[in-house]
Amino acid sequence: MAEMLSLSDAIAELVSDGDSVALEGFTHLIPFAAGHEIIRQGRRDLELIRMTPDLLYDQMIGMGIVRRLVFSYGGNPGVGGLHRFRDAIEHDWPRAVEIEEHSHAGMANRYAAGAAGLPCAVMRGYVGTDLMSHTTVAPITCPFTGERLTAVPALNPDVAIVHAQEADRDGNVQLWGIPGVQKEAVLASQRSLVTVERIVDELEPRPGGIVIPGWVITAVAEAPGGSRPSYSLGITDRDNDFYKFWDKMSRDRDQFTAWMNENVLGLANR
């Protein structure tokens, strides 16, 4: 059964300097509160893995705690670019970040292989692109048909962190709405933390609900509003205005730093 911890205890216990950490959530259910707690606790030299770095990784990169980034789309969805991500790659500010980039299909298959305990996944993709020579994929031939396909290596992060709507007191978790790759990320990782909007006595079945049993989760922490400015369907709304605000504010290093000091470092943990 998952351990029921406070968010600060969970981060202290699960995330160490230098770890590879996947905070997942595809536009929906992004674990902002957990990411902020990692920043507050001063973790450093992290390898961050995430299909869409989004504002959360923009913040973590801008705070200088990221050594390496594995991703497939580093944009502010529907708004534009990620300025801290760009500044780190273009100007090494506040430090150089090594990157490994993939396509979405590649990342999704890498997580699925990791969840299945396979060394790689086989897919159609990457061929003909310049990505092929800048990332870790390899051609493979189907032994049955002879078709040329692409193999992508499994992803097995040290820690997966995802956000969900609910958990029960045994740490069984239910999420609904856009499911992203959260289940795959949890099952692919050595350790996992699920932050939830609320803890309930009993999980009520939801249409399209995905239940992750507590016995494959390391820890569950309550973090109401923990996906803001992303959202938790049915409980909080996506703060689209914040995504637009971020585009303007985060262009400037000093403004960014001041904002993080005031709104992340300056807040007590939840």
Partner 1 sequence: MSVATREVTAGETQTIVAARRLRDTKTVFIGVGRPSTAAILARMVHNPELILVYESGTIGAKPFHIPLSIGDGELAQTADSIVSVPEMFNYWIGAGRIDVAFLGAAQIDKHANLNSTVIGEYEHPKTRLPGAGGAPEIAASCGEVIVIAPHAKRTFVEQLDFITTVGHGDGPGSRERLGFRGRGPTAVITDLGVLEPDPETCELVLTEIHPGVEVDKVREETGWDLKVADDLRTTEPPTDEELSALRELLDR
Can you tell me which of 65, 181, 186, 223 binds partner 1, judged by CB under 8 A?
181
Can you tell me which of 19, 47, 158, 184 binds partner 1, judged by CB under 8 A?
184
Which residues in 43-62 contact partner 1 (CB under 8 A)?
A: 51-52
Q: Mask: binding to partner 1, 121-160, rule CB under 8 A, as x and -? A: --xxxxxxxxx--x------------xx------------
DSSP bridge partners of 162: 194
Nearer to partner 1, 35 or 231 (CB): 231
Nearer to partner 1, 34 or 108 (CB): 108
**Measured between alpha carbons, how far is 188 from 114 in angstroms, rounded to an integer?**
4
Residues with Cβ within 8 Å of residue 6, at least 6 apart in sequence: 221, 222, 269
| CA nearest neighbour of 86 among 53, 37, 108, 40 | 53
Does 84 contact partner 1 by CB under 8 A?
A: no
Query: Would you call 196 helix, strand, or coil by DSSP?
Result: strand
Q: Name the phi and psi angles at 207, rounded to 5.
A: -60, 130
Minimum CB–partner distance for residue 115 and partner 1 (Å):
9
Contact 1, 172 (CB under 8 A): no
Does 27 contact partner 1 by CB under 8 A?
A: yes
* Only segment of 58-66, 165-173, 234-242, 253-261 that touches partner 1 (CB under 8 A): 234-242
Contact 132, 167 (CB under 8 A): no
Contact 160, 194 (CB under 8 A): no
What does the DSSP assignment read for 104-166? HHHHHHHHHHHHHT-SEEEES--TTSGGGGGSS-EEEE-TTT--EEEEEEPP--SEEEEEEEE
Contact 269, 8 (CB under 8 A): yes
* Only segment of 38-46, 159-167, 194-202, 240-248 that touches partner 1 (CB under 8 A): 240-248
Nearer to partner 1, 172 or 227 (CB): 227
* Only segment of 82-90, 197-205, 216-224, 245-253 that touches partner 1 (CB under 8 A): 82-90
**For binding to partner 1 (CB under 8 A), which residues are involved?**
26-28, 51-52, 71-75, 77-79, 81-82, 85-86, 89-90, 101-105, 108-109, 111-112, 123-131, 134, 147-148, 177-181, 183-184, 208, 231, 233, 237-238, 240, 243-244
